[in-house]
Amino acid sequence: MARGSVDSAEGDPFIPGGPSESEESPRRELMAVHQPALPLLRQTIRLPGDGEPFAHPFEQDFSRILTYYRIRWAYEPTSFTLAWSPDGRPAEMFTPDFYLPDQRLYVELTTMRQRLVTRKNRKVRRLRELYPGVQIKLLYRRDYHRLVACYRPDGASPEDGLVCRVGRVLHTEEEIRSRVTDLATVIASDATRAGEPGEGVAPDPLLVLGVGRGSETFARMLAAALREVGQPVEMDRVDLTRYRTLNGARRVRVRRCPRLDLSGRRVLVVEDVVSTGLSLRYLQAWMRRRRVETFDVCALLDRRVARLVDVPIRYAAFEAPNEVLVGCGLDLRHQFRDLPFIAALAVESTATG
């Protein structure tokens, strides 16, 4: 993929909010270098193994995940000037690794250890100061390992010399049930206001649509609580394919369709954990094509710190830390799913010195 270079926001539709008009005109004349147009959709949606010249395997893994979830991306399309020499020439440049045009978001990846990323943090801060309209997200080494854990669940196994056990409890069974009751009260109130029928017409039941097997426990609890407060509901489930390895599917798709017709229905999408937002973004587009009347998202756990793409989460039971969690439907290699509480997963090495 061709790489472009741009030293200012002038004339570039992908860099809003560049340096202010108060810059000296000679400098701005030198900076007027335009970025080539972003490649076409068929060029930016790449298949694994296309031979992109990535500088690090992390970048290749990241591109494959984006491609799998049908997120358009461009690799290093733009270079930003961060400092200028006295004669107005660029003295320091910064080229983020990825640009996601549909999200208008730049993503910079670093696998350096946390104590070594000070320089890159400074560059990102400087970019935000000079180009306040540019959105950029920095993914650290720990974010890389979290992505591997989320999207390569077959990448770790007991043979790796690791033993997984239940760690500290984040939310007890009583806390979960109390929070579900509170959510049901709010959701029922909102659904009543949104679905007031005409005279003599009964409203359709709210369709509680669980996403994947991990949402089943939470969806059942939520549906039962909604019925207790007088909200009619129906339940169904949708399953998406998961990113595994290069030998699996190359695009996300719906593996198990809902049994019920979604057209014209009010749908409450129930997720166990929302992290990057990639799968939920695809599911929302899929539901729009099915002409759903309205849909809201209710998550048991919302891991905002891991978000890559914006997705509207109207209801969330708890904020999730940047850790692997188990219980209340969440599992690891089919373990811990039936725990009535939510706990962090503790990983211990079995290697002996």
In whole angstroms, what is the distance from residue 151 CA to residue 154 CA? 9
For residue 111, is it left (φ>0), alpha (ψ between -120 and 50) or beta?
alpha
- Across the range 330-349, mean pLDDT stands at 83
CATH match of 166-194+201-349 with 3.40.50.2020: yes
What's the CA dihedral at 339, 267, 297, 214 to 10 degrees?
Answer: 30
The domain segmentation of the chain, as residue ranges, is 25-151, 166-194+201-349
In terms of residues, how long is the chain? Answer: 353
- Residues with Cβ within 8 Å of 222's Cβ and at least 6 positions away in sequence, in order, are 180, 183, 184, 187, 208, 268, 270, 298
274 and 280 in contact (C-beta within 8 Å)?
Answer: yes
What are the DSSP calls for 142-169, one per residue? HHHHHHHHHH-TTS--GGGSEEEEEEEE
- Across the range 305-333, mean pLDDT stands at 89
Please check the confidence at residue 298 and state whether its pLDDT lies above 90.
yes
Q: Is the pTM of this model over 0.85?
A: no
User: pLDDT tens, 245-266?
Assistant: 444 457 888 999 999 999 999 9
End-to-end CA distance of the chain: 47
Judged by average pLDDT, the poorest of 88-102, 117-131, 326-340 is 326-340
Predicted confidence at residue 204, as pLDDT, reads: 76
User: pLDDT tens, 31-73?
Assistant: 444 445 555 555 554 544 455 678 788 888 888 888 888 888 9
Q: Which residue has the tokens 């660029």?
A: 90
205 and 234 in contact (C-beta within 8 Å)?
Answer: yes
- The tokens for 240 are 């998406």
- DSSP letter assigned to residue 48: T
Average pLDDT score over the chain: 80
Predicted confidence at residue 4, as pLDDT, reads: 38
Predicted confidence at residue 111, as pLDDT, reads: 77
Please check the confidence at residue 115 and state whether its pLDDT lies above 60.
yes
- CB neighbour burial string for 166-199, b if at least 16 within 10 angstroms, e if fewer: ebeebbeeeebeebbbebbeebbebbeeeeeeee
User: pLDDT tens, 126-185?
Assistant: 999 999 999 999 988 877 777 766 655 444 444 455 577 888 999 999 999 999 999 999
Predicted confidence at residue 9, as pLDDT, reads: 37
What phi and psi, each to the nearest 5 degrees, are found at residue 37?
Answer: -60, 145
159 and 332 in contact (C-beta within 8 Å)?
Answer: no
Beta strands of the chain (E only): which ranges? 74-75, 80-84, 90-94, 98-100, 105-109, 135-139, 162-171, 206-211, 233-240, 254-256, 266-274, 294-302, 315-319, 325-326, 342-349
